[in-house]
Amino acid sequence: MTENIQSTEFDPEFDGTWEEEDFSTGDYERVERAALRRVAGLSTELEDITEVEYRQLRLERVVLVGVWTEGTAADSDASMAELARLAETAGSEVLEGVVQRRDKPDAATYIGSGKVAELRDVVQSTGADTVICDGELSPGQLRQLEEKLKVKVIDRTALILDIFAQHARSKEGKAQVELAQLQYLMPRLRGWGETLSRQAGGRAGGGNGGVGLRGPGETKIETDRRRIRARISKLRREIAAIGVIRETKRGRRTANEIPSIAIAGYTNAGKSSLLNALTGAGVLVEDALFATLDPTTRRALTPDGLAYTLTDTVGFVRHLPHQLVEAFRSTLEEVGQSDLLVHVVDGADGMPEKQVKAVREVLAEINDESGTPMPRELLVVNKIDAVGDLGMARLRHLFPDASFVSANSGLGIEELRVRIAELMPRPEVVVEALVPYARGEVVARVHRDGEVLSEKHTESGTLLNARVRPDLAGVLEEFATNGTPA
């Protein structure tokens, strides 16, 4: 293969064939996503039905709408730019954006009647088929906007849920996304005309109500709600069962006294890239928001040979929908139960301090509800290869205790390994033992799971002075030179 697939851009003339040499898990997932790619200006009609597997879908044309209620103009622009990236990630073409300055969103139409008329003209002139609002709309606001604009209207929450639905791969991830979608959909169910059963209240609803007024007594929308509630209950049971499996795996690592490190941070900050740089995991890396959702755990070694695990968690975003926080709670609790939190920040972002604040707010919410104290935090500023000298000076001023790396180029990765090793919990029991040469596996385990302070080869065996964990100290007890470990 002449070019590494990780740097391969999408080619409109792609013939559907890939070389499979040296593919990683992330490479295979990238191929799968490229097989059905949305491209601007293309028709969805197929001239040859045999092309169905690799067809290209026309992008949905959208107009963005935001309400600026607080903060500076730069904050409002950053929020709209992020909404545009979310829309593009979901497979849309952003045509135009409209922002209104208000003290609070309009209770009826989110942006007010005058702005709705202006927005309708923008939709008609651009030929847009969808309007995306930068906030969570109430069911009433959603209905009013669709009636007045005559196009599909969705909010920021629905957009993020759609991206999660596209990118979820594991059974747990799909169940968590479906649960969040159903919780969002429940209060927004609507039905008109033929979707309603005939029923009447009061005297008309009695036995003499007349022809056409005696119905089953339940609307279709109520039937849908009952089915959704049943499905939500089933999904909660499935997620709880999967959580037991995760607890079992975590329990094994805890029993073996293996330190665990969680990687958290804003979406597209480079968490998966950092995991690949530290462990060679080969997970999917893509310049897109919420490219990876399913947590990945990999084993790594400190420079002095101590083993630990790294877990990549789901990304965060400003105003992360509470449905997602609720559905992904079991996944996010990995952060609270780790020994060290590696908080990744996008150094190339215009306002990295806002990213840090958004992540810490969500983690604080989970911490308050679970009651588990948050682990020690190591702030890691990524993508410094895309930051100039002035930008680096600002970052060092904002985050004086952070580590500065580039997961893409490898700059600062070795220094980060040393920093992680310094902050990791170390073995606490000091033991001096004379291990016979016939028990070489014990010496190997001390090197792997403990910290060897000194080692000397004698006629009787290997004399070790090491710092180990309690379980390993019990194994070394029979070889201790002073009868018991220190």
Report the pLDDT averaged over residues 286-306. Answer: 79
**What would the pLDDT profile of 161-170 be if each residue is shown by its tens digit?**
888 888 887 7
The answer to whether 69 touches 103, Cβ cutoff 8 Å, is yes
Confidence of residue 56 (pLDDT cuts 50, 70, 90): very low
pLDDT beyond 70 at 302 = yes
Residue with the two structure tokens 């310094």 = 422
> Is residue 92 a part of any domain in this protein?
yes
110 annotated to bind ligand: no
294 annotated to bind ligand: yes
321, 277: one domain: yes
98, 121: one domain: yes
> Is residue 69 a part of any domain in this protein?
yes
pLDDT beyond 60 at 45 = no
Q: What is the mean pLDDT of the chain?
A: 79
Cβ atoms < 10 Å from Cβ of 271:
29
333, 371: one domain: yes
276, 415: one domain: yes
> Is residue 330 a part of any domain in this protein?
yes
**What would the pLDDT profile of 251-284 be if each residue is shown by its tens digit?**
665 555 678 898 988 988 888 889 888 888 777 7
What pLDDT is stored for residue 118 in this prediction? Answer: 92
384 annotated to bind ligand: yes
Among candidate residues 423, 443, 463, the one where a domain is terminated:
423
- Taking alpha carbons only, the member of 211, 191, 187, 189 closest to residue 200 is 211
444, 375: one domain: no
4 annotated to bind ligand: no
164 annotated to bind ligand: no
**What would the pLDDT profile of 410-467 be if each residue is shown by its tens digit?**
899 999 999 998 888 777 788 889 999 988 888 888 887 777 888 999 988 999 988 8
385 annotated to bind ligand: yes
445, 397: one domain: no
**Helix, strand or coil, per DSSP, at residue 132:** strand
Overall number of domains in the chain: 3
> Is residue 125 a part of any domain in this protein?
yes
What is the domain extent for residue 114? 61-164
Higher pLDDT, 89 or 403: 403
> Is residue 247 a part of any domain in this protein?
no
270 annotated to bind ligand: yes
127, 103: one domain: yes
Among candidate residues 110, 130, 164, the one where a domain is terminated:
164
Among candidate residues 96, 131, 164, the one where a domain is terminated:
164
389 annotated to bind ligand: no
Distances (CA, A) of 481 to 170, 432, 486: 51, 6, 10
276, 331: one domain: yes
Higher pLDDT, 224 or 149: 149
> Is residue 340 a part of any domain in this protein?
yes
300 annotated to bind ligand: no
What pLDDT is stored for residue 392 in this prediction? Answer: 93
465 annotated to bind ligand: no
266 annotated to bind ligand: yes
Residue type (1 letter), 378: L
382 annotated to bind ligand: yes
> Is residue 344 a part of any domain in this protein?
yes
449 annotated to bind ligand: no
pLDDT beyond 80 at 246 = no
Least confident of 1-10, 290-299, 308-317, 350-359: 1-10
**What would the pLDDT profile of 104-138 be if each residue is shown by its tens digit?**
899 989 998 889 999 999 999 998 989 999 988 98
User: 264: alpha, beta or left, given left = phi > 0 and alpha = psi -120 to 50?
Assistant: beta
367 annotated to bind ligand: no
> Is residue 446 a part of any domain in this protein?
yes
- Taking alpha carbons only, the member of 369, 375, 371 closest to residue 313 is 375
**What would the pLDDT profile of 11-31 be if each residue is shown by its tens digit?**
444 444 545 555 666 666 666
Report the pLDDT averaged over residues 80-91. Answer: 89
